[in-house]
Structure 1
Amino acid sequence: MSHTHQFICMTMRMNIDCDGCYRKIRRALLQMQELESHLIERKQCRVSVCGSFVPQDMAIKIRRKTNRRVEILEIKEVEVGHDAGTDPKPS
């Protein structure tokens, strides 16, 4: 069994028009166990999520939960080894 797994950071564009939209998106992201962290940039209408997941599946899941169009802007894969003390080096 390998000690490395894919750690994904994905940035998406979503409409965040009001406080309600923001809360709805935030609540949906907090419920997802596979996410390590998330960042909602309201003014740029951008949502970034990091964790171990399949990007397309995550986008579909977020779209279903929030009922909003999700446009994937960027997907970064970070190789995470068993020595978690060191910074992951981009390959």
Structure 2
Amino acid sequence: MGALDFLSDYFTISTRRKKRKAVQTVDIKVKMDCDGCVRRVKNAVSNLKGVKTVKVDRKQSRVTVTGYAEPNKVLNKVKSTGKRAEFWPYIPYNLVAYPYVAQAYDKKAPSGFVKNVVQALPSPNASDEKLATLFSDENPHACSIM
């Protein structure tokens, strides 16, 4: 450790540093028909400031962008290519309690996904215990069909 290193600890100039945004993943649904569409969308999004990776899945019509870019800026950049785009409206099938609710089930959804709607999630007022003990042998008021 030299004398300059020792003295630099005492005479540092503090500068304000901007807080860096958190790394986030943005999923966007974009209808892409050909390799040219895929290339156009990928080039447009990868030129945005803060974008680290761009993954395009043409079969699912899905673009996944990872980085520091804001989601609305990414969406607007994809729309600027002339493609109709929206945020990814689907969630994995196993995260939903009621996947076959009328609004949640979508035939156009990729396999393993359903729409993210409030009706598919369990309501906080529903008690699972009541349903479990409804036909129990220990319940004297249970339904008995014999």
**Fold conserved (TM > 0.5)?**
yes
**Cα offset for 1:9?**
0.1
Asked which structure has the greater CA Rg, the reply is 2
Specify the alignment match of 1:29 in structure 2: 45
1:16 aligned to 2:32? Answer: yes
**Cα offset for 1:32?**
2.0
**Cα offset for 1:34?**
1.6
Percent identity of the aligned residues? 26
Runs of 4+ in 1 over 3 A off after TM superposition: 1-4
Q: RMSD in angstroms over aligned alpha carbons? A: 1.9
- Larger strand proportion of the pair: 1
- State how far apart, in whole Å, the 1-side matches of 2:29 and 2:21 are: 26
Higher relative contact order (CA 8 A, sep 6+): 1
Q: Sort the Cα spacing of 1:2 and 1:47 in 2 relative to 1 into closer, same or farther, 3 A.
A: same
Question: What TM-score do the two structures reach when normalised by structure 1?
Answer: 0.68
Question: What TM-score do the two structures reach when normalised by structure 2?
Answer: 0.45
Q: Secondary structure at the match of 1:20?
A: helix
Count how many residue pairs are aligned between Structure 1 and Structure 2: 73
Gaps of 5+ in 1: 75-91
Gaps of 5+ in 2: 1-16, 90-146
